[in-house]
Chains A and B, each alone.
Chain A
């Protein structure tokens, strides 16, 4: 290509070849980078584990998600969702759903961790996706809780509420409470974006910041209420209800008591 000095000298196929080369390079680079987020666990999934996963999937998941996880009218495709999504959805009991609803609710999980791992390995075999995070990824022992609070308020509180109590979204959807979420589940939710939640990739929230957020949520889960009963940490609505029932009620009871003597 050293002798190219003008467009007339270019071969007619050069454009197509160049495009092909560029696409191949990009594709290869993408494959290399994305394979990084597939955890070694799913890569090292044994054939035995995948076999168990396949059996469980066919029994419990395929009626909505399709026999090959391709999805259908009642469930989305699971190709490329990754093991982390399965671990989150099944591990929090959201999947399998009890009934068709706007959103799957957190409930006691149906499968044990071994079965969940098998399901995750099987679903991960459909296509590359985020793998189950390693405990070191969601370890928050060295995290900065105050910084986590700032990132939480900026990215999370608009749906999950300032205290992690959850909040309403449109059309019956909701951001659930994070009061019961484990550090692993919080991490998985951020990297997989379950249900209405957006994905917070490492490009948006670096792994270190994710640990800070987990530290803040852990604080919220265990935070004392120095002011006394927190009334559900729901803000002024419950304060109002308390005021007009218990507090005003008590005062009116006293007025009646004082007034009653004279009648």
Chain B
């Protein structure tokens, strides 16, 4: 069973990646652009993933369908 800790854990990984990218971006005129882009992308993707994951963590409803056929 997944848990809230997974979300925290992935969050820490993303933060670590972000920190690493902060120091890894080469100096130059695109440094600010690269840093902000990488950090924002990480944040956006992490948020989206976390929301999707959390929404399915403790589902309140169960998928239901009425078009299943018998297996042969």
Chain B binds chain A: no
Residue positions of B touching A, CB distance < 8 A: none
Residue positions of A touching B, CB distance < 8 A: none
